[in-house]
Structure 1
Amino acid sequence: MSQKHTKDEQIAYAHELLSANLIGVNSEILDIDIVAGEGEDWVLSGTISARTKTALLGAVGINEMNITTGAGVIRGPQSGHPLCIMAMHPTRKHTLEMKGKVSLHGTKCHIYGNSNHVNDVVDPHTPHNFITAASVTAVGYGHHYIQNITPPLEGSVNVIPDPYLTKTLPAIGSCKATGLEIEAQTITLDPGTYCDGLTISDGSHVTLNPGLYVVIGDTLEIEESTLEGTGVTLFLADRHAELSVSESTVRLVAPTSGPWTSFVILTKRDYNTWEFEESTLDMYGIVYAPGSDIEWENAGTPVITAEWTAWINDGFSWSGTGTLNFPYDTEGSVVPHPSSLNVIPRPGLHEVVRLAY
């Protein structure tokens, strides 16, 4: 995969294309000049001069003539594919790792690994690990049973920047509750700041009213319980606010309007670890946790109702058995799909240009 971005690369690539199109041409090439203009929407301009033999003009004694032609192109918008699973760590191995007998399935899901660790980013460790996706790409490529990846794994030189690096994170208010533990209860919670973590366990069923939920100081832990809510954003506000889900179901739908539109989970950009064990993680919207590494042990085939989920994490290690489905149907989706997620390069294509004149 290659994308040509700099002016020098664009000029060199234009020469390559021109040379390919001149194969078999009988004219004598006199001069080729390709230059790049200035400004943000710069134009790549080219002229070619040649001496060519004439046909009909030979009757009046003109057997050859010089001709000059030119054209200009301008960079087109880079409307890439939407990211579905993106591992952000730039150097670590195994940021897209599979163990046991677990498989991933999402025919519209584009998977990307930014790590440049040589030949060990995408790693299905066993012959029982399979990935079926729209595309699977990694800067550092892969290892072990990569023949189990459909379509085939692609390498890349393009590190994709964090699409939300400059986004301002939510403010942290005063504590609505401190060290709240919900055990064997059916309860509804309201938005606010939950200090020293939040624990939901022992068969509890917790519904979140619409709004922003800030968890800080300790883990958001869900064990043998259900957590659900619509119009909800969770903000895990420091490195201590990890996410741990065990033998539980979490079904959350992001807001469709307001400052946190489409974000179902946000985190502070600190490194920590999330742990999922034999659970259903049904998140409708963006899971933005670029510093959070996920240890994800699956069992069976969890039912996913979300039309799309964009997972932006430090890395992923899937284990266990069964199949994890990653649907990605954005057309007409209830939760808006932002164009800022369309960052996955289109496989096998150079940067698109359009005619300027």
Structure 2
Amino acid sequence: MKEVFVVMKCLLKNEEGNFGIMTAILLPVLLLAGSVALNATNAVNEASKMQAALDAAAITAVRSYAEGASENAVLIEASKLFLANFQTHSAVDLNNSANFNENAFQLAYSQVGHETMATASYAAEYDPFFWGLTPYRISRRSVAARVADKEACILALHPAASRAIEVSGSSTVDTANCTITSNSDDSQSIYLSGTATLKSECLYATGKVSATLANLELACGKAHEGVSRTPDPFRKKAMPTAGNWVSLSGCGQNFVGSGSGNGDCNGTGKTPNQVPDGYSVTLKPGTYAGLEIKGKITLQAGNYVIDGGVLKFASQSTVSGEGVTFFLLNGAEIDIHGGANFHVTAATSGPWAGFVIVAARNNTEAAVINGNSNSSLTGIIYMPAAREIQYSGNGSTGGECVRIIAQEITMTGNSGFKFNCKAELANNQIMNPGAIRLVQ
């Protein structure tokens, strides 16, 4: 034992021995400190990679979602992009729904006014190198937003049609304070020719604009080509369903088709056999097998559902109604002749406030809507699946508070569109998609 103390005493007096002991004592501390520093650096790098991958995914998501892609399709696209940019041993296989958990890639959407936002988030357990350190959680989020651009008066939804929007012949169209927008990527996405006159805030086309008009005036100076598609802004609104048909017997055959005889007209009044000049038959809201208006008709406020038949305003008809929406269900058609005299306004409250004509989303029937200087529609003409709308509205200087959405749109006559129509359209707007920015 005495010898051991002697040896220890010698080692303590020896500088080389002191260094060896101190090294032995400090080595674990140095290793731990180095491990912490190394892992902190690696964790920062992992978090930076995660943030960059989330930013790319959020931008992709808000672009695709704002252009009308489904939430599920966007999730698949964005998650694959995220994992392609962020590879880690703890990354979740998003192709296998059974692997989704609280650590998986998450995607959520929100709408603030006309700004669409996508929030991408991800969390993973980081496993440190070396011993003595427990795993810890790294989480990041990214928020991208797409702001709205100019308001559109006319929107053609078809993605590939030639001449999805056409203004030709001797038409005169004025959308001076709103745009004409086509989602078609065709080289003649918007087609303008002949002696027609067009005045617009701007033209927006996913494809190209073919314009040989001598009379073209754009406030923006030059058409915007190759732009992102504008989604159907009303694609999530629930359609009504058809009910029991309203009987038109007793309404007078000179006033409505199928209105045999004269007498009690669906509870709104008794139609006389000898009608005085200026007499108007009143119709009530409800479901109609078809509705052909031939004479002077007053429409009570409400929804008029056309169930598989035809809504027709004959050339000598006179139609008036406030707070009215026509719904074309089960393949119903619409045919409004230029000789008809009509003044119809949409409701300003209710689920479909601001809409004057609505077709089911599977209704591909073409439509003819021809007004004249004495006629007017106020509201949104929403026929998203209609293969074509031929439209000639009120060509007066004041124009109409009307908006049009269909697959393809042809302007066949003189039309003027008012811009400041928020009250009449119940604050519904069709906005072109603008720039995308990272919010967080």
**Structure 1 consecutive aligned stretches of length 4 or more whose deviation exceeds 6 Å:** 35-38
TM-superposed CA distance for 1:124, in Å, is: 1.5
Equivalent position SS for 1:86: strand
The one of 426, 431, 436 aligned to 1:336? 426
Distance 1:285 1:182, change over 3 A: farther
Deviations 1:242-273 (A, max 9, x none): 23333123322211222222221111121111
Task: Give the match for residue 325 of structure 1.
Answer: 416
Task: Give the match for residue 368 of structure 2.
Answer: 275
Distance 1:240 1:336, change over 3 A: closer
Task: Give the match for residue 328 of structure 2.
Answer: 236
Moved more, 204-213 or 269-278: 269-278
TM-score, with normalisation over the residues of structure 1? 0.70
Residue 138 of structure 1 aligns with an amino acid whose one-letter code is: A
- Structure 1 unaligned regions, length at least 5: 12-34, 45-71
Residue 239 of structure 2 aligns with an amino acid whose one-letter code is: L
CA contact (8 A) 1:80 1:342 kept: no
Cα separation, 2, equivalents of 1:262 and 1:256: 6
Cα separation, 1, equivalents of 2:212 and 2:182: 17
Bigger share in helix: 2
Deviations 1:51-98 (A, max 9, x none): xxxxxxxxxxxxxxxxxxxxx985345233333110112221122112
Cα separation, 1, equivalents of 2:369 and 2:120: 50
TM-superposed CA distance for 1:168, in Å, is: 1.6
Task: Give the match for residue 149 of structure 1.
Answer: 216
Cα separation, 2, equivalents of 1:9 and 1:170: 35
Task: Give the match for residue 348 of structure 2.
Answer: 256
TM-superposed CA distance for 1:325, in Å, is: 0.5
Cα separation, 1, equivalents of 2:305 and 2:145: 40
CA contact (8 A) 1:216 1:241 kept: no
Task: Give the match for residue 183 of structure 1.
Answer: 254
Residue 105 of structure 1 aligns with an amino acid whose one-letter code is: D
Deviations 1:203-260 (A, max 9, x none): x221111111011232211122222211111111132322333312332221122222
TM-score, with normalisation over the residues of structure 2? 0.57
Equivalent position SS for 1:286: strand
Cα separation, 1, equivalents of 2:152 and 2:253: 35
Task: Give the match for residue 298 of structure 2.
Answer: 207
Equivalent position SS for 2:228: coil
Equivalent position SS for 1:160: coil
Q: Is 2:314 the partner of 1:220?
A: no
Task: Give the match for residue 286 of structure 1.
Answer: 380
Task: Give the match for residue 152 of structure 2.
Answer: 83
Equivalent position SS for 1:143: strand
Q: Is 2:266 the partner of 1:173?
A: no
CA contact (8 A) 1:85 1:110 kept: yes
Residue 250 of structure 1 aligns with an amino acid whose one-letter code is: F
Task: Give the match for residue 121 of structure 1.
Answer: 189
TM-superposed CA distance for 1:181, in Å, is: 7.5
RMSD: 3.2
The one of 173, 180, 204 aligned to 1:111? 180
Task: Give the match for residue 102 of structure 1.
Answer: 171
The one of 69, 72, 93 aligned to 2:162? 93
Deviations 1:3-61 (A, max 9, x none): xx9817969xxxxxxxxxxxxxxxxxxxxxxx9997545589xxxxxxxxxxxxxxxxx
CA contact (8 A) 1:235 1:267 kept: yes
Residue 187 of structure 1 aligns with an amino acid whose one-letter code is: V
Residue 203 of structure 2 aligns with an amino acid whose one-letter code is: V
Bigger share in strand: 1
Residue 353 of structure 2 aligns with an amino acid whose one-letter code is: T
Q: Is 2:204 the partner of 1:137?
A: yes
Cα separation, 1, equivalents of 2:217 and 2:151: 18
Moved more, 208-217 or 240-249: 240-249
Cα separation, 1, equivalents of 2:244 and 2:342: 26
- Larger RCO (alpha carbons 8 Å, 6+ apart): 1
Equivalent position SS for 2:406: strand
Distance 1:278 1:336, change over 3 A: closer
- Structure 2 unaligned regions, length at least 5: 1-53, 61-84, 87-104, 109-117, 122-140, 256-278
Task: Give the match for residue 50 of structure 1.
Answer: none
Cα separation, 1, equivalents of 2:196 and 2:303: 37
TM-superposed CA distance for 1:353, in Å, is: 4.3
Equivalent position SS for 1:150: strand
Across the two proteins, how many residue pairs are aligned to each other?
Answer: 286
Q: Tell which structure's C-alpha radius of gyration is larger.
A: 2
Task: Give the match for residue 71 of structure 2.
Answer: none
CA contact (8 A) 1:210 1:230 kept: yes
Equivalent position SS for 1:104: strand
